Structure 1
Amino acid sequence: MHKNNTITRIALIRHGETAWNAERRLQGHLDIDLNNEGRRQAVALAAALAGEQVDVLVSSDLARAAQTAKALGEVLHLPLFIDGRLRERCYGGFEGLLYSEIAERYPREFAAWQGRDVDGTLPPGQNRGESFREFHDRVIPAILGWAADNPGKSLVLVAHGGVLECAYRAALGLSLETPRDFKVLNASINRFIVQDGKLELVSWGEVDHLQQAVLDDV
């Protein structure tokens, strides 16, 4: 069978910092804006990507991702496409709580979550929670779909920590049950290629652009 050797490049970016990130409060589908540090990170990120060839810019529909992406769009002179499938995982009743509060209020569900029960249900809240498997099965087809629709192009997708985790696992063939022993950093650049409908990891957790901005401020 003829193989398709077209390579599509994807830079997958986690949104800049929010006040809730800074205090370890779970956001999920709750719509939280970037804080001052997050806005600074978005500007630094845009400067870092300014010299790169980017054809398509896509963001989750949550404000923290869209605000980060808009900073990129202004520098790259690209329209911004919004895709709700790239939203963070919905955590149901966990949303809006500090991690410490989740452990106290929902000890059984918290233990299942920390124990990587990928089909574990979450307590109801403002939004219906998703199991990790449901979340993964929403996110990966979305990423691969953008690649399939833009063969041979270079894409930037701005999303969330959980979305990046799913992509990392898919690219390395990691089971959903294995612990997350890798960092997913705010405003990091994480590079993949898609070939023959499969994600492959190129580089992970690029954050030099953020450090440089800090040094420039001294």
Structure 2
Amino acid sequence: MSDRQPGKRRVVLWRHGQTAWNVENRFQGKTDIPLDDTGLQQAERAARLLAALSPTALVASPLQRAAATAQALAGVTGLPVQHDRDLVERDGGAWEGLTGKEIRERYPAEYATWQPPGGETSAQVAKRVGTALERAVDALPPTGVLVVASHGAALRLGMCHILGFPEEIWERLGGLSNCSWSVLGEMRDGGWRLVEHNAGTLPEPVMSDDSDDSSA
């Protein structure tokens, strides 16, 4: 955690829209696959919703599926898109371009531990993406809202990093659907709370007897 002053920052972690390889269940990794027509429509719909959160900064992976998703929000809000190479998807090594069935059949041992030959480990991705998220947050004012357009594995693992989850429980956090997002709210101590996960609608206030944190 940086030495920034705690505030009421929010971070919206937004997965890119659908691609042809998503439909075919192919491991994309760092391969630069574009959005398909459905993915473009998803991005436009999501952008209209996310604009209501009044984002103040927009950062994206430079891979075209994430960059095009971010551009849909830029078109609605007028925000410039900043690209960060550290937000790209997990390097899938030998798995890139293969279907899930092909991976299971050709690499059973590696599939069992979900470690692509020649690719990145989960810990490497978590640190890379988490550090990029922290860097972007540090540039936000105390009430800023950051939207990050990136990729499924990258965002899930980066989120685990900044939430401070130990690696042994990372798999308990489910993934993000195409063009869905998660929302993190800053807490009083400068840490983060998961407010919404894998959402496709705007977050609603939580009214309950649970521990209240007005800054979240």
Q: Give the structure-1-normalised TM-score.
A: 0.83
1:51-62 correspondence to structure 2 within 5 Å = 51-62=52-63
Q: 1:158 aligns with which of 112, 128, 149?
A: 149
Distance in 2, Cα, partners of 1:106 & 1:3: 45
| TM-superposed deviation, 1:201 | 1.1
- 8 Å CA contact 1:7–1:151 kept in 2: the answer is no
Is the 2:125–2:158 contact (alpha carbons within 8 Å) kept by the matching residues of 1?
A: no
Give the superposition deviation at 1:188. 0.7
Cα distance in 2 for partners of 1:46, 1:107 equals 39
Which secondary structure state, in structure 2, belongs to the residue aligned with residue 65 of structure 1? helix
1:60-99 aligned within 5 A: 60-99=61-100
Give the partner amino acid of 1:144: E
Distance 1:180 1:94, change over 3 A: farther
Query: Which aligned pairs between 1:7-156 and structure 2 lie closer than 5 A?
Result: 7-113=8-114, 120=115, 122-124=116-118, 129-152=119-142, 153-156=144-147
Distance change >3 Å, CA 94–CA 4, structure 1 → 2: same
Q: Is the 8 A contact 2:6 2:186 kept in 1?
A: no
TM superposition shift of 1:39: 0.6
C-alpha distance in 1 between matches for 2:91 and 2:78:
32
What RMSD over aligned residues (CA atoms) do the two structures have, in Å? 2.0
Structure 2 residue runs without a partner (length 5+): 203-216
Deviation at 1:46, TM superposition (A): 1.3
CA distance in 2, matches of 1:30, 1:208: 29
The 8 Å contact of residues 62 and 88 in structure 2, kept in 1 or not, is answered as yes
How big is the shift at 1:180?
4.0
Partner of 2:183: 191
Describe the SS at the equivalent of 2:79: coil
- Which residues of structure 1 form unaligned runs of 5+? 114-119, 210-218
Structure 2 SS opposite 1:50: helix
- Give the structure 2 partner of residue 116 of structure 1: none
| Matches of 1:56 and 1:3, distance apart in 2 | 17
Cα distance in 1, alignment partners of residues 83 and 197 from structure 2: 24
Shift of the 3–42 alpha-carbon distance from structure 1 to 2, 3 Å rule, reads closer
Cα contact 1:148–1:197 (8 A) shared by 2: no
Q: In the TM superposition, what are the counterparts of 1:203-214 in structure 2 within 5 Å? A: 203-208=196-201
Query: In 2, are the aligned partners of 1:86 and 1:159 still within 8 Å (CA)?
Result: yes
Q: SS of the residue aligned with 1:29?
A: coil
Q: State which drifts further: 160-169 or 138-147.
A: 160-169
Q: Say whether the 8 Å CA contact 2:90–2:153 is kept in structure 1.
A: yes
> Which residue in the other structure is 1:4 paired with?
5
Alpha-carbon distance between aligned partners in 2 of 1:26 and 1:194, rounded to the nearest angstrom? 33
2:153 touches 2:175 (CA, 8 Å); kept in 1?
no
